[in-house]
Chains A and B, each alone.
Chain A
Amino acid sequence: MQLKLNGEVRDVPDGVTVAGLLAHLGVKAPRVAVEVNEAVVTKDRYDAHALQADDAVEIVAFVGGG
């Protein structure tokens, strides 16, 4: 299925969970946060939250800023 991931359309396994998506992408950093369709998905829900086609997913981290 396709998702909008950080603004770009990407193919991911059907029904993948947030935890599965992060593993698929190779993201191990504990310091990321995930938003699906403009709502934060907290870390305790990564395993349970199954993504659906066309979901808008944002994965963010801290960067330098003022």
Chain B
Amino acid sequence: MSDDTWALGGRTFTSRLLVGTGKYPDFPTMKRALVASGAEVVTVAVRRLDLTKVGAESLLEWIPKGMTLLPNTAACFTADEAVRTCRLARELGLGDLVKLEVIGDKRTLFPDVEALVQAAKVLVKEGFTVLPYTNDDPVAARKLEDAGCAAVMPLGAPIGSGLGIRNPYNLRIVMESVKVPVLVDAGVGTASDAALAMELGAVAVLMNTAIAEAKEPVLMAEAMREGVSAGRKAFLAGRIPMKLHAAASSPMTGLIGR
């Protein structure tokens, strides 16, 4: 399985689990969870520096060396804000990889797909490798692919909800509809959700809250790593078709006393 890699913007990855860095109880727990997850890509947010706490501990000191940073545009509500945030992120991280979010609704944090496509077009033109967080909508996915996005990242359920994969059928149609990698981003609650996303054919899964807010984040990170791995192997192995009735596993002949 070690040769089962995937690629994004010229980089090749082995791990199919991408993890966030928000909501952890503390930095040491986060670091241990990041290591336990086996992730090679970690998301970070861009925020105003707290000028009252200049010199405070930086998040980056707690991200294990060698991990690829994926800055997000979380909480951006317009294409313009998202584009500016990506430009700042590039200046901060010296990389072109961005997780593009343009949020359309505060309560559900569902994406504003129209603004997302607009922002993606601008960023692609500026040389960014754009990974858009989007709805489980095949038409939107195709528009994002046409805009030049390097992947599409449909949600499994609302961000931080832990509701799992709410519409596996739409996700499958999204995967059929585009040639770029499809990553399931958001909604995962536990390891079986991550496995299901992978069994459906996702190239990878991105999550944050499910690990960070678990009672034992490090143990959950390990569970997610195994869930993603198991789901990937099951996808490659090819599941049996579902049947309404039984199909015996043991021979129906040669029984005693007949």
Contacts and interface: CB of A to CB of B under 8 A. Distances in A.
B92 A66 contact: no
Given A64-B21, A65-B43, A66-B22, A59 B51 contact: yes
Contacts of B160: 66
B210 to A, nearest CB: 10
A61 B51 contact: no
A38 B91 CA distance: 14
Contacts of B24: 64
A35 interface: yes
Given A29-B58, A40-B91, A66-B20, A61 B43 contact: no
Interface stretch (B67-75, B117-125, B135-143, B249-257): B67-75
A24 B57 CA distance: 20
A31 B48 contact: no
Q: How large is the interface on B (under 10, 10 to 19, 20 to 34, 35 or more residues)?
A: 35 or more
Q: Size class of A's contact patch?
A: 20 to 34
A34 B44 CA distance: 17
Contact of A66 (B60, B84, B91, B159): B159
A62 B87 contact: no
Contacts of A35: 84, 87-88
A33 B49 CA distance: 9
Nearest to B83: A38
Given A5-B51, A42-B91, A62 B84 contact: no
A60 interface: yes
B93 interface: yes
Contacts of B71: 62
Given A26-B54, A38-B84, A58-B48, A64 B92 contact: no
A63 B59 contact: yes
A6 interface: yes
Contacts of B87: 35, 40
A33 B44 CA distance: 14
B45 A63 contact: yes
A25 B48 contact: no
A66 B209 contact: yes
Interface string A31-65: 11111001010110000000000000011111111
Interface of B: 20-24, 30, 43-49, 51, 54-55, 58-60, 69, 71-72, 74, 84, 87-93, 159-160, 186, 206-209
